[in-house]
């Protein structure tokens, strides 16, 4: 569990908005390993991971504000 917590902490530095997505997906993955996750749970995990990856691959993280246009 220590490696996961370190990765979550690393992600939270530049991507705090999606670290909860990472935690939720990881939780489902752990339940799947124990045979306790349904197909719907796995679908939700994929949605969480997709949100995380979209933010990681974006040029600017989701939590950063876009520059404001001055009038």
Rounded Cα–Cα distance for residues 7 and 56 (Å):
13
**What are the tens digits of pLDDT across the range 25-68?**
999 999 999 999 999 999 999 999 999 999 888 866 555 444 45
List the one residue out of 28, 16, 26 whose CA is nearest residue 55. Answer: 16
Count CB atoms within 10 A of the CB of residue 22.
Answer: 22
Q: What is the pLDDT of residue 39?
A: 97
């Amino acid at each position: 569990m220590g490696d996961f917590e370190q990765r979550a902490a690393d992600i939270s530095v530049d991507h705090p908005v999606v670290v909860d997505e990472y935690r939720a997906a990881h939780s489902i993955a752990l339940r799947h390993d124990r045979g306790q996750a349904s197909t719907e749970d796995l679908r939700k995990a994929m949605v969480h991971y997709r949100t995380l990856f979209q933010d990681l691959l974006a040029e600017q993280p989701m939590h950063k504000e876009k520059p404001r246009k001055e009038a």
